[in-house]
């Protein structure tokens, strides 16, 4: 069983981890330095969708069990496979972009295969520890990451310039509110919450954890992108591959303190490892529940390796980022629609 | 079972605790890079100045630091890009060049005038070059400037660059780092400035042949210093009220007798990535004041006795800039305060301090207007970013670009008002009218 705080920590990390990689760049490219407004808008929409879904949700059952009750074996398998595919698509981009980024900024001489192999081994070890351990480490580590983020934002104070977020509506209201709707995909990891319902004490805790998770995770994401917009003028802000790392690089408080990246890289790596272990474990659980298998642990290694193989399909990091963007746009409607449909059906069934 | 758990840990301790790749002893740390035009127009003569750690205090010598000329060494190679130069230089020096400790990038005037966009792209894309590396334009050539670096007070040459270009009290220099320059050259709303580095002129230089783009060579920093006759600086004397009687120096003209012949003063104006002009040290001070980068600085104003009165000038508040698009007008307000430091004996500033404040404010205003006018009319450069300040008057970025204000801003009326006050008089208050 997961405690409420642990479930909240999982959701916070799941939401904001993408902000640590290439995600902010895609938001900036869409709406300019009004990206923070776009994310604020996505945050509000995601919160509304979550409230509607969780209010309609009945019973302490995960989505796959609900599908089984509502439509029998066939619907269970269809739903299970669909959820597994959405989660895999959500996750494979991380498994590719993270090692690529590590190679660029940390281990330039190491081979990508070696970095990926070490990363996957760490994910497998984490996933083997099980959901309780993953959740507990999330709960223990997130406050450390929070303090680090606070220090980071304070150290950036000399670089904030209000002129950088002007004109206030960036590329225009149409970009922010129409094409910008797609970046609600940041919150598509909320799907995890509906899969993890059976691990919570009751539905009320799921509701509270989800609300807190979106508020804190979404809030942190908006703050990160606002800090980036305040420190980097548009259109140059759309050029940097890993915006958060770029901000960490710019910190230079005279000769007193000038290299914040090691602190950042430490937190960054652990958060992404936690996120990845969680995903591999949850995908294994989804397969196990879908096909009524006795154990989920034997699935961890194959799933991690399959995800790794899929992640390595794009030839270059440019293709990887392009595909990631396309995947997030095509997969996110299902991440919200599937739980919403089952939530509505669960109420009718009850 | 216990052993099975322990084995991976032992394995990791044994295999992952070493240094993969290069040991620190195999690396040569570049501390400055210079770009000159090569004889082959397509290439650059790229100078990599690297530190010799064994000569720096605390190095292998165990005797403390060596004299400064022995601390650094230069390697110059002809190459089209920075990293191809690093490749070539690696074959000259036994160690591999590492650029993460670079503190200064110097461009020759020719390179700067031709445009440094490509070089800046490389520097900004690079993972090992820090974004806060200082930049300078050397009017006599980057290699010449770097080879004349002989810090007198600093054992560590990196520290010398940091102290010189961090603008720690050096009012005659703007601060310019590669990250900011990269931003500015890619923005439509602001132009940038870079400090000027120079080498003190000697009579030998007058007869010296101009440096041609020679092939790969290695310059020893250990060459004997020859006696050279220093030329008298040729900078004109400023007779305007701001920095009264101070010469309008540009780097290379400041010092009269120095072991270290390299110096920095003034600023090069850039229109996007191309150098378009030069401002003197006095104008750089004004630029720093107007851009809010100004720190405590001794400034001389004309007193009532036509003698210079020196004050310590500091910002009371950051400058305020308001752009009125409708009336095509820029209003700038500067908030400055000062302490009296040096007054001619026959002058009694304390007795007419209000008049002095008013006159000093007028002098600053006049000098600032002149600088802005020159920047716009001669160099077509918006170095103070007035266009940038106008961005807040628009709702969207497209409106801002479509307004064409970046082109139009030079036709705006600039009004500057200076709030200047004398706060303290030092340990003396002279004059009888202060009772």
Check: CB of residue A151 under 8 Å from CB of residue A18.
no
For chain B, say whether A32 makes contact (Cβ under 8 Å). Answer: yes
**pLDDT tens-digit series, residues B136-165:** 999 888 998 888 877 767 677 777 888 888
Which tokens is B275 given?
A: 């150098």
Q: Tell me the pLDDT band of B134, cut-offs 50, 70 and 90.
A: very high
Q: Are residues B267 and B351 in the same domain?
A: no
* More confident: B23 or A113: A113
Task: State which of B293, B325, B341 marks the end of a domain.
Answer: B293
Check: CB of residue A187 under 8 Å from CB of residue A15.
yes
pLDDT reported for residue B209 = 46
| Closest residue in A to B124 (Cα–Cα) | A240
Q: Are residues B301 and B261 in the same domain?
A: no
Average pLDDT score over chain B: 79
**Would you say residue B231 has pLDDT above 60?**
no
Q: Are residues B300 and B337 in the same domain?
A: yes
| Closest residue in B to A102 (Cα–Cα) | B127
What average pLDDT does range B45-53 have in this prediction? 86
| Structure letter (DSSP) for residue B320 | E
Q: Tell me the pLDDT band of B292, cut-offs 50, 70 and 90.
A: confident
Q: Is the dihedral of CA A135, A140, A142, A143 positive or negative?
A: positive
**Would you say residue A225 has pLDDT above 50?**
yes
The answer to whether position B31 is within a domain reads: yes
- Identify the weakest region by mean pLDDT among A318-332, B59-73, B400-414: B59-73
| Closest residue in B to A252 (Cα–Cα) | B132
The single residue listed with the structure tokens 């709707």 is A181
For chain B, say whether A130 makes contact (Cβ under 8 Å). Answer: no
ipTM summary value? 0.85
What average pLDDT does range B379-387 have in this prediction? 90
| Closest residue in A to B130 (Cα–Cα) | A249
The answer to whether position B212 is within a domain reads: no
Check: CB of residue B203 under 8 Å from CB of residue B232.
no
The answer to whether position B106 is within a domain reads: yes
* More confident: A224 or B344: A224
Task: State which of B243, B268, B293 marks the end of a domain.
Answer: B293
Q: Are residues B158 and B255 in the same domain?
A: yes
* More confident: B218 or B336: B336
- Contact: B397, A104; criterion CB under 8 Å: no
Q: B392 contacts in A (CB within 8 Å)?
A: 162-163, 166-168
Cα separation, B137 vs B110, whole angstroms: 10
For chain A, say whether B319 makes contact (Cβ under 8 Å). Answer: no
**pLDDT tens-digit series, residues B182-208:** 999 888 889 999 999 888 766 555 554
**pLDDT tens-digit series, residues A243-283:** 999 999 888 877 677 778 888 888 888 999 999 999 999 99
pLDDT reported for residue B227 = 42
Count how many domains chain B has. 2
pLDDT reported for residue B202 = 63
% chain B with pLDDT above 70: 78
Q: Are residues B66 and B179 in the same domain?
A: yes
pLDDT reported for residue B228 = 45
- Contact: A250, B179; criterion CB under 8 Å: yes
Q: What is the CATH number of the domain that holds A326?
A: 1.20.1740.10
- Identify the weakest region by mean pLDDT among A107-116, A183-192, B233-242: B233-242
Cα separation, B192 vs A21, whole angstroms: 31
| Closest residue in B to A235 (Cα–Cα) | B187
Q: Are residues B133 and B263 in the same domain?
A: yes
Q: Tell me the pLDDT band of A146, cut-offs 50, 70 and 90.
A: very high
* More confident: B65 or A95: A95
pLDDT reported for residue B69 = 57
- Contact: B395, A167; criterion CB under 8 Å: yes
Question: Residue A322, Cβ neighbours under 10 Å: how many?
Answer: 12
* More confident: A107 or A135: A135
Check: CB of residue B196 under 8 Å from CB of residue B263.
no
The single residue listed with the structure tokens 């994310």 is A39
Report the residue from B127, B166, B395 with minimal CB separation from A254: B166
- Identify the weakest region by mean pLDDT among A18-22, A55-59, B59-63, B387-391: B59-63
- Identify the weakest region by mean pLDDT among A315-319, B148-152, B385-389, B392-396: B148-152
Q: Are residues B278 and B307 in the same domain?
A: no
- Identify the weakest region by mean pLDDT among A82-91, A282-291, B70-79: B70-79
- Contact: B395, A169; criterion CB under 8 Å: yes
Q: How wide is the angle at C-alpha A292 spanned by C-alphas A287 and A294, nearest 5°?
A: 95
Residue B309's φ and ψ, nearest 5 degrees, are: -110, 120
- Contact: B397, A234; criterion CB under 8 Å: yes
For chain A, say whether B187 makes contact (Cβ under 8 Å). Answer: yes
pLDDT reported for residue A319 = 84
Residue B423's φ and ψ, nearest 5 degrees, are: -95, -45
| SS3 readout for B185-245 | HCCCCCCEEEEEEEECCEHHHHHCCCCCCCCCEEECCCCCCCCCCECCCCCCECCCCECCC
What average pLDDT does range A312-340 have in this prediction? 83
User: Helix (H, G, I), strand (E, B), or coil: what is residue B142?
Assistant: helix
Q: B22 contacts in A (CB within 8 Å)?
A: 109
Q: Are residues B195 and B75 in the same domain?
A: yes
- Contact: B395, A235; criterion CB under 8 Å: no
Count how many domains chain A has. 1
Identify the domain containing residue B397 by its residue range: 296-435
Q: A163 contacts in B (CB within 8 Å)?
A: 385, 388-389, 391-392
Q: A249 contacts in B (CB within 8 Å)?
A: 130-131
pLDDT reported for residue A324 = 78
Q: B132 contacts in A (CB within 8 Å)?
A: 250, 252, 258
Q: Are residues B375 and B253 in the same domain?
A: no
For chain A, say whether B396 makes contact (Cβ under 8 Å). Answer: yes
CA B208 from centroid of its chain's CA atoms: 27
**pLDDT tens-digit series, residues B83-107:** 999 988 888 887 888 888 898 999 9
Q: B395 contacts in A (CB within 8 Å)?
A: 167-169
Find residue B320's DSSP bridge partners: B333
For chain A, say whether B11 makes contact (Cβ under 8 Å). Answer: no
pLDDT reported for residue B60 = 47
Q: Are residues B321 and B287 in the same domain?
A: no
For chain A, say whether B21 makes contact (Cβ under 8 Å). Answer: yes
Q: Are residues B392 and B284 in the same domain?
A: no
Q: What is the CATH number of the domain that holds B399?
A: 3.30.300.210
Identify the domain containing residue A84 by its residue range: 4-349
**Would you say residue A314 has pLDDT above 80?**
yes
- Contact: B130, A110; criterion CB under 8 Å: no
Task: State which of B251, B278, B293 marks the end of a domain.
Answer: B293
The answer to whether position B5 is within a domain reads: no
For chain B, say whether A166 makes contact (Cβ under 8 Å). Answer: yes
User: What is the interface size between A and B, counted as CB pairs within 8 Å?
Assistant: 65
Q: Are residues B278 and B301 in the same domain?
A: no
Question: Residue B141, Cβ neighbours under 10 Å: how many?
Answer: 24
């Amino acid at each position: 069983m997961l405690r409420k705080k642990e479930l909240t920590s999982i959701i916070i990390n799941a939401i904001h981890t993408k902000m640590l990689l290439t995600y902010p760049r895609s938001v900036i490219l869409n709406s300019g330095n009004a990206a923070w407004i776009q994310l604020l808008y996505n945050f509000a929409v995601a919160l509304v969708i979550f409230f509607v879904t969780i209010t309609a949700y009945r019973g302490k059952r995960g989505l796959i069990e609900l599908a089984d009750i509502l439509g029998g074996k066939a619907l269970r398998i269809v739903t299970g496979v669909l959820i597994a595919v959405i989660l895999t698509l959500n996750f494979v981009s991380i498994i590719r972009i993270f090692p690529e980024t590590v190679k660029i900024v940390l281990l330039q001489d190491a081979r990508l295969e070696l970095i990926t192999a070490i990363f996957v081994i760490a994910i497998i070890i984490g996933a083997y520890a099980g959901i309780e351990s993953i959740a507990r480490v999330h709960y223990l580590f997130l406050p450390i990451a929070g303090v680090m983020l606070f220090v980071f934002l304070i150290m950036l104070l000399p670089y904030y310039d209000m002129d950088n977020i002007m004109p206030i509506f960036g590329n225009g209201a149409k970009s922010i509110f129409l094409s910008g709707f797609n970046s609600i995909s940041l919150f598509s990891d909320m799907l995890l919450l509906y899969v993890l319902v059976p691990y919570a004490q009751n539905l009320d805790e799921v509701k509270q954890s989800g609300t807190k998770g979106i508020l804190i995770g979404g809030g942190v994401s908006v703050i990160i992108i606002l800090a980036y917009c305040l420190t980097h003028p548009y259109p140059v802000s759309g050029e940097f591959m890993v915006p958060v790392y770029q901000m960490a690089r710019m910190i230079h408080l005279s000769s007193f303190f000038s290299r914040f990246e090691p602190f950042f890289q430490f937190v960054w790596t652990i958060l992404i490892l936690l996120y990845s272990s969680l995903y591999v474990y949850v995908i294994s659980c989804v397969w196990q529940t879908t096909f009524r298998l006795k154990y989920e642990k034997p699935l961890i290694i194959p799933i991690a390796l399959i995800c790794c193989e899929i992640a390595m399909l794009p030839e270059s990091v440019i293709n990887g980022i392009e595909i990631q963007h396309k995947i997030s746009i095509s997969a996110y409607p299902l991440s919200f629609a599937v739980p919403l449909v089952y939530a509505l059906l669960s109420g009718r069934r009850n | 079972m216990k052993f099975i758990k322990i084995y991976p840990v032992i394995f990791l301790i044994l295999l992952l605790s070493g240094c993969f790749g290069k040991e620190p002893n195999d690396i040569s740390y570049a501390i400055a890079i210079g770009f000159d035009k090569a004889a082959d127009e397509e290439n650059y003569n790229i100078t990599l100045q690297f530190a010799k750690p064994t000569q720096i205090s605390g190095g292998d010598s165990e005797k403390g630091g060596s004299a400064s000329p022995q601390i650094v060494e230069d390697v110059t190679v002809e190459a089209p890009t920075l990293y191809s130069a690093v490749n070539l230089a690696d074959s000259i020096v036994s160690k591999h060049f590492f650029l993460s400790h670079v503190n200064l990038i110097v461009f020759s005037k020719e390179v700067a005038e031709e445009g440094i966009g490509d070089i800046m792209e490389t520097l900004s894309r690079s993972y090992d070059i820090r974004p806060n590396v200082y930049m300078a334009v050397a009017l006599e050539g980057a290699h010449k400037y770097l080879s004349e670096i002989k810090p007198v007070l600093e054992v560590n040459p990196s520290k010398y660059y940091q102290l010189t270009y961090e603008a720690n009290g050096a009012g005659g220099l703007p601060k310019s780092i590669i990250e900011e320059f990269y931003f500015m050259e890619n923005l439509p709303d602001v132009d940038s400035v870079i400090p000027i580095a120079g080498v003190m002129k000697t009579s030998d230089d007058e007869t010296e042949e101009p440096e041609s783009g020679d092939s790969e060579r290695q310059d020893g920093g250990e060459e004997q210093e020859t006696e050279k006759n220093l030329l008298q600086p040729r900078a004109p004397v400023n007779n305007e009220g701001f920095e009264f009687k101070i010469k309008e120096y540009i780097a290379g003209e400041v010092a009269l007798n120095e072991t270290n012949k390299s110096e920095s003063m003034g600023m090069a104006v850039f229109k996007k990535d191309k150098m378009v002009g030069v401002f003197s040290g006095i104008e750089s001070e004004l630029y720093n004041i107007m851009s809010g980068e100004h720190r405590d600085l001794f400034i001389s104003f004309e007193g009532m006795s036509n003698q210079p009165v020196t004050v310590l000038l500091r910002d009371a508040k950051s400058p305020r800039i308001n752009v009125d698009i409708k009336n095509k007008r820029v209003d700038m307000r500067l908030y400055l305060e000062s302490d009296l430091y040096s007054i001619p004996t026959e002058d009694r500033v304390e007795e007419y301090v209000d008049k002095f404040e008013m006159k000093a404010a007028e002098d600053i205003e006049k000098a600032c207007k002149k600088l802005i006018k020159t920047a716009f009319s001669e160099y077509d450069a918006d170095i103070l970013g007035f266009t940038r300040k106008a961005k807040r008057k628009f709702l969207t970025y497209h409106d801002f670009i479509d307004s064409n204000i970046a082109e139009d801003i030079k036709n705006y009326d600039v009004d500057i008002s200076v709030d200047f006050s004398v706060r303290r008089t030092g340990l003396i208050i002279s004059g009888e009218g202060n009772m």
